[in-house]
Amino acid sequence: MTLAAETIRTARIRAGISQAALARRAGIAQSTISRIEHEEIDPTWSTMQSLLAATGWEINPQPTSAAQLLSPTTVSRAMTESLRKSDSESAIRDLAEGVGRLIRTGEAGENLPQWAIAQPSKPIGIPLWDTFLATAFAYGLERAGQTPPQWMLAVPALPHETSPGDDPGPEFRDWLRARTPQVFLDKNILSRAEDWAIA
């Protein structure tokens, strides 16, 4: 049972009221309450507030450390928008921000919710950038002591060594390669661990 369905049903039963009575109190159709309790729909936040308030429950949401996370889907959308504007620097910053937040939360020992590591439903559509996204999030999870999901590891390696941003010269390339974590090297990406830290 979903958390929303269980919460609404538990609150209603503890209040000793029927779905019809809850519907009258909350001003929400009884069919909607039934569909929520039977896990046919997920309620919006405002619907949850109305239903719980109508059962006498106080709603006092508190953010967890996960509230600061950016999902791969959110980061992918931001990167896509930046790339649409031919702004690869912003796309890199978007990715670094998402991965940096993941690392910070994971290294603090916090549990990472599934949505924070779920595969985006729509890829960026540019193989280079899809590989950057998946590999960087895989690196973030490794830093957090967790095993990356298959979608992050299954992206193809780039055809040649590539560094997000400027193309390094031969001497800098060797220096950078020596400081690149293995998960990036496996995909022909050159990027230092400190490139993914955020303030």
- CB under 8 A, 24+ apart: contacts of 124-127: 124/76, 124/79, 124/80, 124/83, 125/80, 126/83, 127/156, 127/158
Q: What are the residue boundaries of the structural domains of the chain, listed by start?
A: 3-54, 65-196
Query: Is residue 130 packed enough to be buried (19+ CB in 10 Å), middle (13-18) or exposed (0-12)?
Result: middle
- Give the type of residue at 27: G
CA distance 61 to 186: 42
- Give the type of residue at 13: I
* pLDDT by 10s per residue, the chain, length 199: 678 889 999 999 999 999 999 999 999 999 999 999 999 998 998 899 999 999 998 877 777 778 889 999 999 999 999 999 999 999 999 999 999 999 999 888 888 899 999 999 899 999 999 999 999 999 999 998 899 999 999 999 999 999 987 788 888 999 999 999 999 999 999 999 999 988 6
Supply the CATH classification number for the domain 3-54: 1.10.260.40
